[in-house]
Chain A
């Protein structure tokens, strides 16, 4: 009995002692996450100055970050914030900085160049942006210079848009049995190709809207075993352009993690289509597309919004073909900034190194999402 009381008293005293220690001398990371500045290092080196800036961006301490710049006379604090999160609603508007990497590029006694790579946690996954910062010595402190990218100004103008828009009236609940509904759009899989990869089976293909109305589309696939029994079903999720205008083609990619083609007897493909109200606007031009071979195989290019409407989020889907025209790979990238009218925005889609040598041509499609804003 006495031993039990002694143990309880010891545990209680230890807990109180640890709480007091943690409060009086908190760990730097805990203080930082709690909103304090406990993780801030002394800016005695260029790397430390940029690391401090990274921490301030992560905790959205914009005022402190702005105050630390050597070139703050060149821009205002709101301009700095908008430079990071976008001047118009975009993928980065509702994001937080997950982590950052600092890499020194060049250093001398009074100035240095440091690369700051920011990894943002967005609703569609991680998005990385890289900024090269010049860091200058001011007394015994190093201060970074922010490479501000100022807002692109579109000149005031009127852009007439008279593209088609489709609206749909569906049958009502009170309609008689046998009364017609509007027909779902006719879509067709024009190519399908299963590929075995290190992490499982991937099904690649293309879907065509062969109708004269817009379609909301999706594709799912079911792997059937050697005995024709279903073993797994997966959908294309966001590896497809879900809105297809008449005669438009989208690539799709469906992943079966952990599956092996040697266990697959056949594959059942299920394209799904539904009528959807849609607009033929905006038109996006994909300019200067370049296929870069391995190492660092990628497809780069620029998107130009030819319409007057701001595109808040653009999704670039690349379809890669071999010499015989078969689909070899499908890859995508979300653009983390809004597409303003007539303003070029670059994109870069990475291609697996082992497939890059098989690729001889490509086709790119853009899916766009607009919040309905206008200039």
Chain B
């Protein structure tokens, strides 16, 4: 009988203590806040306690008077993510959580443009991907419009407006028919980032050479080498001259200089001379002199 009475009394005491703790430390937390914004946490009860706000790479600690509101100024929390709040009093501990969301205003973007160099006249050859960030470098996952603009020296401008999905927007654009340095810009609000895309000539087109006798040698010379869009193929491009005669052959790989390739080779009567660059074949000459 005495034991039963002791059990009932101790249960009552524990229930009373729990009620007292609950009154001592409850908190009112915001569900979400925007990164960098000011916010406040309201506590109830009386006495002193310590408030901890713990998140990804950031911890705030504040001594508080229970029953008062704790104010946190702008910029206190700036990393987006899930934060745990702990209110530790002398006799009790209370916890809660809230989320810090990226700011809604874009402030920065990372822009990946590929490739930095490509031949002219390539459909969807240039791709750009942009990632939008707020002022605190949090990825803004809410849909945001990004403008992509590719402008070539000839004045041709290709423009696309693309909404981000999970923080990223991407597009594909064509390279134009004219060689040159294009400017590829991604922009969102006042934030923009520029890249350079070099459009280079394609394979040589209509490769043609001529031969002229200079003493005992043949002077072989191409016409100015251009691609199929009329762009001059850059100097340094290899042009191969091959002279086949009587079961023998002579070959020279010559780099273009000032737009033409030129070489002197021994002239063999009845020789067939051909010219090529990469996988492109040019004309053939039969030397009969």
Contact = CB atoms under 8 A, between A and B. Distances in A.
Interface stretch (B5-13, B51-59, B145-153, B196-204): B196-204
B26 interface: no
Contact of B247 (A162, A246, A290): A290
Contacts of B74: none
Contacts of B263: 283, 285, 306
Contact of B203 (A178, A210, A364): A210
A306 B239 CA distance: 15
A89 B113 CA distance: 47
Contacts of A181: 116
B117 A183 contact: yes
Given A163-B257, A287-B266, A248 B238 contact: yes
A180 B115 CA distance: 9
Given A164-B235, A180-B195, A246-B238, A289 B251 contact: yes
A364 B251 contact: yes
Contacts of A202: none
B234 interface: yes
B110 A177 contact: yes
A211 B117 contact: yes
A180 B279 contact: no
A360 to B, nearest CB: 12
A249 B278 contact: yes
A46 B9 CA distance: 126
Interface in B255-279: 255, 257, 263, 265-266, 277-279
A121 to B, nearest CB: 31
B248 interface: yes
A276 interface: no
A209 to B, nearest CB: 8
Nearest to A178: B110
Interface string A281-294: 00111111111000
Nearest to A278: B236
A208 interface: yes
Contacts of B265: 285, 287
Contacts of B34: none
Nearest to A362: B249
B214 to A, nearest CB: 15
A178 B112 CA distance: 5
Contact of B255 (A182, A249, A283): A283
A287 B242 CA distance: 10
Interface string A227-253: 000000000000000000111110000
A290 B116 contact: no
B69 interface: no
A211 B200 CA distance: 9
B253 interface: yes
B247 A190 contact: no
Nearest to B250: A287
Given A208-B278, A212-B237, A287-B266, A180 B113 contact: yes
A75 interface: no
Interface of B: 110-113, 115-117, 131, 193, 195-196, 200-201, 203-204, 233-239, 242, 247-255, 257, 263, 265-266, 277-280
Given A283-B252, A285-B251, A288-B248, 8 more contacts: A183-B116, A183-B117, A212-B234, A247-B204, A247-B239, A247-B280, A248-B253, A364-B251
Q: What 3 pairs across the A-B complex have the smallest Cβ distances?
A: A247-B278, A280-B255, A164-B236
8 contacts: A164-B236, A183-B117, A212-B237, A285-B252, A289-B248, A289-B249, A291-B247, A301-B249
